[in-house]
Amino acid sequence: MVGSQRDIKRRIRSVQSIQQITRAMQLVSAAKLRRVQKSVLDGRPYVNKLDQVIHRLAYSNRSNLRHPLLKARKVQRAAYCVITADRGLAGGYNISILRLAQDALNKEEHPYSLTVVGHKGRDFFRKNDFTIDAEHTSLGDDVSWEEAKEIAKHLMNDFLAHRVDVVHLVYTQFQSAIAHKPVIEQLIPLPTWPGKTGVEDVDQQPYIVEPSLPQVLDVLIPRYIKTKVHRALLEAKASEHGARMVAMRNATENAKEMIDDLTLSYNRARQASITTEISEIVGGAQALAGPVGRGG
């Protein structure tokens, strides 16, 4: 019984140590989430307005111009850029995006090129015998513009060189600290908007473009694609931190429940041990008192 109590106390100390780690990871993830979430929310109005401007310039009825990154062509080879995390312990964050990507690749009717971002994505596709054409890992918790530019340039160069005919982004869209959604978006060529003019914009005043529309598009469209990649990385990072925060909070609560159960078991074992010792003492006292009583 003493050995059982010692084992239970050892397990309680072990679970308490794990609980301290999970609580610390929860707090760290919460702090990182607040920082990245601000970047995501602050950047959305800029990206949405840029989206409007690009589509009004490129797809309006008054413009017959077609930038190379806008030209849709017959798909003979597709490209997928899958954004995952470098680390685990984030609940179902990685597996949900990887399942979506795997399902899309298995259903893809054309040959494809695969670019992965994050150690988890790279390891998953290697394990499942997918051919990886490019990988970007160890990006860190602070998503930099330079890293997004490098990924976007690689995808644009493949499209412009006709190595691929369409590029898809596979990432996790941030909704809230506890909600995120895996999505697949077409990045290149830019998809047209619905409607007669291809534009849904309240402001229908014509733009005055200087120095010329082709020159503006030459600068604006590549920057727009880089911005979309940067936004996807930010959305994915915010989703990762949110998922890890929730996972560590659940782990901390589970550890507390386990400690409570182990403490109850320890108290029961201790009570049983004390009861046994009392019974032994009483029995011993009775055994000693018995012969004396008979002798008197």
**What total number of domains does the chain contain?**
1
Considering the chain, what percentage of its residues have pLDDT values greater than 90?
Answer: 44
* Eight-state DSSP code of residue 130: P
Mean per-residue pLDDT for 21-49?
89
Instruction: Find how far residue 262's CA is from the centre of its chain.
Output: 34
Q: Domain range for residue 72?
A: 26-248
Cα 164 from chain centroid (whole Å): 27
**Sequence-ordered strand ranges (E) for the chain:** 78-83, 112-117, 134-136, 166-176, 179-188
Identify whether 65 is part of a domain: yes
Residue 292 has pLDDT above 70, yes or no: no
Contacts (Cβ under 8 Å, ≥6 apart) of 165: 73, 74, 75, 76, 77, 78, 159
CA dihedral 70, 73, 78, 79 (to 10 degrees): -20
Q: Is residue 286 part of a domain?
A: no
Confidence bin at 287 (pLDDT 50/70/90)? confident
Do the domain assignments include residue 93?
A: yes
The answer to whether residue 99 is domain-embedded is yes
Q: For the domain that residue 207 is a member of, what is the CATH number?
A: 3.40.1380.10
Cis ω before 189 (30° cut-off from 0):
yes
Q: In this structure, is residue 174 part of a structural domain?
A: yes
187 lies in some domain? yes
Query: What confidence category does residue 295 fall into, taking pLDDT thresholds of 50, 70 and 90?
Result: very low
Confirm whether 89 is domain-assigned: yes
Confidence of residue 195 (pLDDT cuts 50, 70, 90): very low
